[in-house]
Structures are given as C-alpha cells and as structure tokens.
C-alpha cells in the first residue's frame, strides 16, 4: 500500500453521442483491446486504470450516450476531475452533440474541470466529415484540449489520457485523506432522488 500511497484517484467521465467510440477508447486505454462489434453501453460502465508515471488512478465513467439516459448524466459528471467529450470524425451530427455536451458542462460551472475533446475514428479519414481545423478552432475558443484518436489503431489514445493526467492538479500534501494509507475513492455527491426519463 505505502508504495501507492501517493497515487491520487481522479474521476473521469466520457460523454458524447452513442457510437462515437467512448467505450472503445476506454477499453483500448484500460485493457488494450478493441472490437468491431462493441455493443452499446447500458447506463454507465465503471473502469479504473492506474497510470504510475503520473501517480494517478483514473476512475472512469463510460456513459451510454443515448438520449434516454441524458437526464442521468449529471450523476456521472458531478464531482469529476476531467471529462472527455468524444465525437466521430465521420459524423457532423456527433460533432454537434459534442458541442452540446461542452455547453452542458460549462453550465455546470466547475472551473477546475479539465475537458478534452476527442475526434475519434481517425483511421476513417476517407469518410471524414469534421475537419480537424474546425474542431481545433472550437476547442481553442472553449478552452478544451483537442486531439484526434483512433481506438481501432490506438493512435493518440495514450496521449489523450496522459495529457489529462498531466493537467490534473498536482497532489497537495494537505489533500491526503486523514489517517489512511489506502486509496480513497471519490464519491459522487448525492444525486436527486428517483430520477425519471424525459
């Protein structure tokens, strides 16, 4: 335990249109796997991955992205240290949805939240619908970190997560949880009771 004593947990949430490749990015990062037959996420999936170089343990919420779960999204991004908003470079629609997510996070007004914009499926450049310059421009305007990735070929996937790890606030000595050598899990703030769709 003591060797990990200074590993900081960091809650990270992935948002974006269904089918953009959120789960694929997470599974590539956490397990080094990719499948062409990735089934849609239900609700939200939780995975963790420690990045020793940066002394960070990512606690990742991979959300479903379907419209019906939208009202539940706050449950997952509340209290997050970082968010990755994913779109599919072959779909303008998914880019527009990504912008909506950016706006939603901005409305939440957490100035410390690190937000990355990932243009995924970069391997499908032939079907590209969103130019990197456009996305970069949008990212600059909104203070996001932008990168194009491919969960399939794994291009830039490590960089995406590493960049977030780098940007996380440095662990302060005082921030350590009192009296524990254990890793402390971040807890979601209590959410509204009995949420319903629509």
Partner 1 sequence: MTVSEAEGEGAVGEEQKREPEELAARVAEEEEEDADVREAEMADTGTPRLTREEVEQGIARMDQHVDRESRDQSAGTDASSSSGGSYQKQFVNKAPNEDSTMPSWRRRKKHMFVFSNAGKPVFSRYGDEQMMSTFFAAAQAIISFVGDKWGDGLLSMEGGLRGPGGGSPWKRKANRDSRAQGPPGKLKALFLEKGPLTFVCVSRTDEPASVLRHQLDLLHSQFISILTLGIERAFARSASFDMRKLLNGTGPLLRSVIHSGTWDLPVVLGGVAPLPLEIGLRKQIAQSLQGCFVPDVMCSLLFTADRVICISKRKRFKLNHKDLFLFTNFVRLNDSFKQSESFTPFCFPSFNPSAFLYVYVSYVTEDVCLAFVSGRADSFHELAEAKVFVESFLRQPTVRTGLEQALREDTLKVRELPMSAGGGFVGETPLWHYVYYHKGLQQLLSPRMGAPPLATRECQKRVLRGYQEMSTASYDGMTVRWRRSGSFTIIACISLDFDLYATFDSIVDAGSAVRICNQLAQYIHSKERDLLMPVFQLKSNTRTTAAARRATL
Ligand X SMILES: Nc1nc2c(ncn2[C@@H]2O[C@H](COP(=O)(O)OP(=O)(O)O)[C@@H](O)[C@H]2O)c(=O)[nH]1
Which residues bind to partner 1, rule: CB under 8 A? 18, 23, 27, 37-47, 62, 64, 66-69, 72, 75, 185, 187-198
Given ligand X, partner 1, Mg ion, none, residue 124, with its beta carbon under 5 to 8 Å by kind, binds ligand X
The helix/strand/coil state of 72 is: helix
Kindly state the smallest distance separating residue 155's Cβ from ligand X, in Å.
8
Q: Report the residue number, 43 or 137, with the smaller CB distance to partner 1.
A: 43
Query: 106 vs 154, which CB is nearer to Mg ion?
Result: 154
Residues in contact with ligand X by the rule CB under 6 A: 16, 18-24, 35-36, 38, 40-41, 65, 86, 120-121, 123-124, 150-152
Least separation in angstroms between CB 63 and partner 1:
10
Of residues 35-64, which lie at the interface with Mg ion (CB under 5 A)?
A: 41
Rounded CA separation 191/186 (Å): 14
Nearest distance, CB of residue 31 and ligand X, angstroms: 13
Helix axes 157-167, 22-31, angle to 10 degrees: 80
8-state DSSP, 19: T
Burial of 194 (0-12, 13-18, 19+ CB in 10 A): exposed
Hey, which residues does 152 pair with through a beta bridge?
none
The residue nearest ligand X at its CB is 21
Burial grade of 165 (CB within 10 A; 0-12, 13-18, 19 or more): buried
Size of interface with Mg ion, in residues (CB under 5 A): 3
Tell me the CA end-to-end span of the chain in Å, nearest whole number. Answer: 45
Q: How far apart are CA 13 and CA 34, in angstroms?
A: 19
Using CB under 5 A, list all residues that contact Mg ion: 22-23, 41
């Amino acid at each position: 335990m003591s060797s990990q004593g200074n590993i900081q947990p960091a809650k990270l949430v992935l948002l974006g249109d269904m089918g953009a490749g959120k789960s694929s990015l997470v599974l590539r990062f956490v397990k080094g796997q990719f499948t062409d037959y990735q089934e849609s996420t239900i609700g939200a999936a939780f995975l963790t991955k420690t990045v020793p170089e940066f002394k960070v343990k990512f606690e990742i919420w991979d959300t479903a992205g379907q419209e019906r779960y939208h009202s539940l999204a706050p449950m997952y991004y509340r209290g997050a240290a970082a968010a990755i908003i994913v779109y599919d470079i072959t779909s303008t629609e998914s880019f527009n949805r990504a912008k909506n997510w950016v706006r939603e996070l901005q409305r939440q007004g957490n100035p410390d939240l690190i937000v990355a914009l990932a243009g995924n499926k970069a391997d499908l450049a032939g079907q590209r619908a969103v130019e990197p310059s456009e996305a970069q421009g949008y990212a600059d305007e909104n203070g996001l970190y932008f990168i194009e990735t491919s969960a399939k070929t794994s291009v830039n996937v490590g960089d995406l997560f590493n960049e977030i790890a780098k940007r996380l606030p440095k662990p302060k000595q005082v921030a350590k949880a009192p009296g524990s050598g254990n890793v402390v899990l971040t807890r979601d703030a209590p959410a509204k009771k009995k949420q319903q769709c629509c």
